[in-house]
Amino acid sequence: MPHAVAHDRVESVALSSVTLPLPTGISDAKVFTGRQRPMTEVALLFAEIRTEAGLEGVGFSYAKRAGGPAQFAHAREVAPDLVGEDPNDIGRLWTKLVWAGASVGRSGAATQALAAFDVALWDLKAKRAGLPLAKLLGAHRDSVRCYDTSGGFLHESIGQVKDNATRTLASGVGGVKIKVGLPDPAEDLRRVAAVRAHLGDGVPLMVDANQQWDRPTALRVGRALEEFDLVWIEEPLDAHDTRGHAELTRALTTAVASGEMLTSVAEHYELIRAGAVDVLQPDAPRVGGITQFLRLAALADHHHLQLAPHFAMEIHVHLAAAYPREPWVEHFDWLHPLFDERLEISGGRMHLSDRPGLGITLSGQARAWTAETAVVDSPR
Ligand SMILES: [Mg+2]
């Protein structure tokens, strides 16, 4: 039932399933423990929402290794519930869509599918206001510290990782994250020592174990890593080991970061409430979109946490700019081919553009990599 005082109405929703190939098989610690294969592609779900007033919003969600087809199928099934609705009522629409799929839960693939709609509705609302999304939300800054992840994976040698770091810093990115969690922790320590020596003191350096240490290993390696002045140690433990994270956070001087694998505000609230991390790393597409991200960002700020959103920098630069405490944005160059625009990066920071909304346009390459589309223009 359309809202009685609607100021505009959703006319159609176009969905696209895009498969982004990666140039080389990507390996983190999960590959070395045999839990996952090297990653060769990223599946993206794009939602383009058009209104009767002639506005358009674009949003996306994504899945790595598995889940892309499930997100697309769920989105196609619930998209008719958006048609005829006022696109300004974003919170109400998120709730409507989550109830439409209530039997498949409020986290995981179902709400990740809703994230593509939610992000598109925020993009549309900011475009209607003629503002970059960060300005619509209320920005605390016009640029955000950024660090690179693309160049620090475990399938590359120490020499390659050092070369990548040199290139990254020369491009204006402010910090470097490298992967750890190899079967031999001594090799991790050698890689971290080599990169720290290469960068010199003072250059922000992070490590990421991708959940592959057990509690004793995380404590032992975490202590050995203290001397390298790391900005944080990321995902030292299983993402759902809240108590283990809380104990480690208290035991180490180095900050502990986690949260990218969590797919709801409720899961994040467990970490926040337990004092389990120093740095929270939510991912807007994974938690169900921007509406949900804003809820947990408010909780994180209330608990004096640092924020470093995971992946999808095209969305997160706006959300990080709107966080009260100086955050970090994760720089990944992987999604570049999908968009016509580039984020400006200089002086260690990623800069907001003047473009309204998210400031992204789907490229011809994104269209060429589109495997499946669906246009929904009538309610069910
Ligand atoms: Mg990570």
Ligand 1 centre to CA of 366 (Å) is: 25
Ligand 1 centre to CA of 238 (Å) is: 12
Q: What integer is the mean pLDDT of 166-186? A: 97
Q: 357 lies in a domain? A: no
Ligand 1 centre to CA of 243 (Å) is: 19
Q: 158 lies in a domain? A: yes
DSSP class of 101: T
Ligand 1 centre to CA of 375 (Å) is: 34
pLDDT mean across residues, the chain: 96
Indicate whether 253 and 282 sit together in one domain. Answer: yes
**C-alpha separations of 19 from 12, 109, 361, 370 in Å:** 23, 17, 17, 6
179 catalytically annotated = yes
Ligand 1 centre to CA of 210 (Å) is: 6
pTM for the model:
0.96
Q: Which of 177, 310, 316, 318 is catalytic?
A: 310
Indicate whether 140 and 168 sit together in one domain. Answer: yes
Ligand 1 centre to CA of 261 (Å) is: 9
Residue pair 296/287 in contact (Cβ under 8 Å)? The answer is yes
CATH of the domain at 168: 3.20.20.120
Q: Which of 30, 127, 162, 179 is catalytic?
A: 179
Q: Place 123 in a pLDDT band, splitting at 50, 70 and 90.
A: very high
Ligand 1 centre to CA of 356 (Å) is: 29
Q: 191 lies in a domain? A: yes
Q: 5 lies in a domain? A: no
Indicate whether 158 and 42 sit together in one domain. Answer: no
Q: 1 lies in a domain? A: no
CATH of the domain at 115: 3.30.390.10
Q: Ligand 1 being an ion, which residues bring their Cβ within 5 A of it?
A: 208
The answer, yes or no, to whether residue 168 has pLDDT greater than 60, is yes
Indicate whether 236 and 300 sit together in one domain. Answer: yes
Q: What angle do CA 144, 345, 283 make, to 5 degrees?
A: 50
Ligand 1 centre to CA of 255 (Å) is: 14
Phi-psi region of 211 (alpha: psi -120 to 50; beta: other; left: phi over 0): left
Q: 301 lies in a domain? A: yes
Ligand 1 centre to CA of 165 (Å) is: 17
Residue pair 316/347 in contact (Cβ under 8 Å)? The answer is no
Indicate whether 223 and 317 sit together in one domain. Answer: yes
Reduce the DSSP state of residue 226 to 3 states and report it. helix
Reduce the DSSP state of residue 246 to 3 states and report it. helix
Domain holding 98, by residue range, is 10-130+363-376
Indicate whether 44 and 175 sit together in one domain. Answer: no
Backbone phi and psi for residue 175, each to the nearest 5 degrees, phi listed first: -155, 170
The structural domain count of the chain equals 2
pLDDT for 273 equals: 97
Q: Kindly report, residue by residue over 247-297, the tens digit of the pLDDT.
A: 999 999 999 999 999 999 999 999 999 999 999 999 999 999 999 999 999
Indicate whether 169 and 304 sit together in one domain. Answer: yes
The answer, yes or no, to whether residue 193 has pLDDT greater than 80, is yes
331 catalytically annotated = no
Q: 17 lies in a domain? A: yes
Residue spans of beta strands (DSSP E) within the chain = 10-26, 39-51, 56-64, 143-148, 175-179, 205-208, 233-234, 256-258, 279-280, 306-307, 328-331, 344-346, 349-351, 370-376
Indicate whether 111 and 141 sit together in one domain. Answer: no
Nearest to 142 by CA among 354, 295, 358: 354
Indicate whether 104 and 242 sit together in one domain. Answer: no
Q: Kindly report, residue by residue over 307-366, the tens digit of the pLDDT.
A: 999 999 999 999 999 999 999 999 998 999 999 999 999 999 999 999 999 999 999 999
Indicate whether 28 and 151 sit together in one domain. Answer: no
pLDDT for 2 equals: 53
Q: 277 lies in a domain? A: yes
Indicate whether 77 and 189 sit together in one domain. Answer: no
Q: What integer is the mean pLDDT of 10-16? A: 98
Indicate whether 160 and 125 sit together in one domain. Answer: no
